[in-house]
């Protein structure tokens, strides 16, 4: 089985290389926005769009009109055009909204599909038109290769004033036969991040709440400065740095917990949650986004797939919290009730633990029905 995997490193460019990287990012963003504007104007004129192949053939003429577009790697500009074409394709397929203009500071990246070179042992990456840029390699992987598989492309991005590189690889892995010895049901929540049917409770770290006060302090300073001044940009980086810290902590936590669950279980039962709809509750929206349920289930899906395990989603409206895990009795359970007391068999059990057991049982039933 062929899979794609990405490896991310922090770049340590010189001042001259920083300028070249910023120019490459700006040129790719300009080409994307320029062709998006042409498409909008053409649709307003005759209700038609310019598609990918035609946009790519327009690049040489655009370069003649704007000679400074010759400074970045030509294939990076072509990739930006193809990204716009893919955005239009997804829009016409009903998968996404209409493409938006890329903004500086938000969409700061470019891709090199060819002519790059990554030398982990020597600690640098060669980027076309930029040169050899030093990369920061963790001491655990120094003097040996970490990247496995065929290198397909590199994407250079700027976040919080720092430059990063993402190396996309393709490699073949052995498809492991699925085992069904150990099953588990997972009930995600806000009080506790997740409750497993094996009795394990994963505490909710609430990373956003931990840094909320610090973030508010930095944002207040930013709001009192003259917009787009030098001090404003310096303070903006501080705000972005706090956001990045929160995101990194959350991602690290989710990776560790999802890996632990996949390693110890073969069948993983999950709820098919409508997170977007749940986040419309303004009292819970911040906590729901902070928990990162969507990222967590995505990690479980691909890690289980890689290791020959299976994730099973129970029906969206399956009443896991209302059913008794012992006798199957049913009762209404408002959110304020944290203990399930069955009126039929007198079972008293924690609400989330009861739900996780029901999710596991239903997941096993769905596997039998599909067999």
Q: What sign results for the dihedral spanned by CA atoms 173, 178, 181, 183?
A: positive
- Write the CB contacts of 212 (distance below 8 Å, at least 6 apart in sequence): none
Q: Are 135 and 12 in contact (CB under 8 A)?
A: yes
CB 187 within 8 A of CB 360: no
- The owner of tokens 């705000």 is 239
Q: Which two tokens stand for residue 208?
A: 């956003």
Residue 303: Cβ within 10 Å count: 18
**What is the C-alpha separation between 57 and 137, in angstroms, rounded?**
39
- Rounded CA-CA distance 281/243 in Å is 23
Active site members: 187, 271, 352
Centroid of chain to Cα 6:
12
Select from 258, 247, 149, 151 the least CA-distant residue to 207.
247
Q: Given 3-state DSSP classes, what are the helix, strand and coil percentages for the chain, each rounded to the nearest 5?
A: 45, 20, 35
Q: Which residues contact 247 (CB under 8 A, 6 or more apart)?
A: none
Which of 287, 305, 307 shows the shortest CA–CA distance to 297?
A: 305
- Token pair belonging to 303: 């890690």
Three-class SS state of 213: helix
Distance CA 163, CA 127 (A): 13
């Amino acid at each position: 089985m062929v899979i794609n995997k990405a490896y991310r490193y922090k770049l340590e460019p010189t001042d001259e290389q920083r300028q070249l990287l910023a120019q490459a990012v700006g040129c790719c963003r300009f080409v994307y926005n320029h062709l998006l504007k042409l498409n909008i104007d053409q649709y307003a004129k005759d209700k038609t769009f310019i598609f990918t192949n035609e946009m790519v053939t327009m690049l040489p003429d655009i370069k003649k009109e704007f000679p400074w577009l010759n400074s970045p790697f030509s294939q990076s500009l072509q990739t930006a055009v193809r990204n716009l074409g893919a955005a239009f394709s997804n829009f016409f397929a009903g998968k996404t909204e209409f493409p938006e203009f890329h903004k500086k500071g938000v969409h700061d990246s470019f891709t090199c599909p060819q002519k790059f070179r990554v030398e982990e042992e020597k600690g640098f990456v060669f980027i076309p038109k930029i040169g050899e840029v030093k990369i920061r390699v963790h001491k655990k992987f120094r003097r040996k290769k970490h990247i496995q598989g065929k290198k397909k492309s590199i994407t250079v991005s700027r976040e919080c004033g720092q430059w990063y590189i993402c190396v996309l690889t393709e490699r073949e892995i052995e498809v492991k036969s699925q085992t069904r010895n150990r099953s588990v049901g997972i009930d995600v929540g806000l009080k506790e991040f997740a409750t497993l049917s094996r009795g394990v409770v994963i505490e909710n770290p609430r990373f956003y709440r931990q840094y909320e006060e610090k973030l508010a302090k930095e944002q207040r300073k930013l709001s009192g400065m003259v917009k787009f001044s030098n001090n404003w940009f310096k303070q903006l980086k501080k705000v972005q740095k706090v956001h990045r810290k929160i995101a990194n902590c959350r991602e690290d936590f989710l990776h560790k917990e999802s890996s632990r669950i996949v390693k110890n279980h073969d069948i993983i039962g999950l709820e098919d949650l409508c997170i977007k709809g749940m986040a419309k509750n303004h009292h819970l929206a911040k906590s729901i986004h902070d928990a990162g349920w969507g990222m967590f289930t995505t990690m479980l899906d691909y890690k289980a797939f890689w290791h020959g395990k299976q994730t099973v989603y129970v029906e969206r409206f399956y009443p896991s919290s209302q059913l008794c895990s012992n006798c199957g009795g049913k009762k209404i359970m408002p959110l304020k009730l944290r203990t399930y007391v069955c009126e039929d068999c007198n079972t008293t059990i924690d609400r989330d633990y009861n739900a996780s057991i029901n999710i596991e049982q239903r997941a096993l039933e769905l596997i039998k029905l599909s067999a």
